[in-house]
Amino acid sequence: MTLTEDRSAPEAEQTAAAKSAARHAMIVSQLRTSGVNEPWVLSAMAQVAREDYVPEALRDAAYIDRAIPLGNGRFLAAPLVHGKMLAEAAPTSADKALLVGDGNGYLAALLRPLVGSLDTVDPTAVSSLSGEGGYSLVIIDGAVEELPEVLCQQMAEGGRIVTGLVVRGVGRLATGCKAAGSVSLLPLAELGIPALPEFAAPKRWSF
């Protein structure tokens, strides 16, 4: 028993060191080289272990620079996507935030320490939201073709939103602000953001 424990301890230490090295490489080779240099973003992503949010069989690939399938049609976006989203959102302790995504997922873990409060809603349940949420920040963990009106209603006047937006078949990072009761999205950098089928645009007939 003692021999087994002695052998497993170095292996666990090596595994932890390898994961820490992979996280560091993600920051240096993926985030920094693509313009994500905000110290607070890098610090947040250095502290949260991506491998804890992917299927066990894919943990060795947790830090690759592309989306990872989570099952049931869901994906963990590439590190750069979440880094860019955080940088654009600029969350603060004054924010009442809403995340459209997995409340137990990676982006939620990144956001929770950065905002005053964080509520989450699964994309499949957005239509059930009611009332005015008064959220100063809304983040959608994925790309939409159309922004649901119910999410606009949840935002406070002057509130910000960060999301992926599919524009003519291309995924882009997009931001917006609620002004005079309406929200307009501004597409920014092209990014490979996994699309959310719940927010696909209705099919239109063409002749």
How far apart (Å, rounded) are the C-alpha atoms in residues 106 and 45?
10
User: Would the pLDDT of 7 be above 80?
Assistant: no
pLDDT tens by residue, 40-87: 999 999 999 999 999 999 999 999 999 999 998 899 999 999 999 999
- Mean pLDDT of the chain, nearest integer: 91
- Categorize the per-residue pLDDT at 3 as very low, low, confident or very high, splitting at 50, 70 and 90: very low
Q: Which residue has the higher pLDDT, 156 or 207?
A: 156
pLDDT at residue 10 tops 60: yes
The structural domains of the chain, with segments of one domain joined by +, span: 2-199
pLDDT computed for residue 14 by the predictor:
63
The CATH code for residues 2-199 is: 3.40.50.150
pTM of the model: 0.89
Strand runs labelled E in the chain: 68-71, 74-76, 96-100, 117-121, 135-144, 155-167, 170-179, 182-190
Tokens of 132: 């005015």
For residue 183, what are its two tokens?
A: 């929200």
Q: State pLDDT tens for residues 140-162.
A: 999 999 999 999 999 999 999 99
Amino acid at 109: A
Q: pLDDT grade, residue 8 (50/70/90)?
A: low
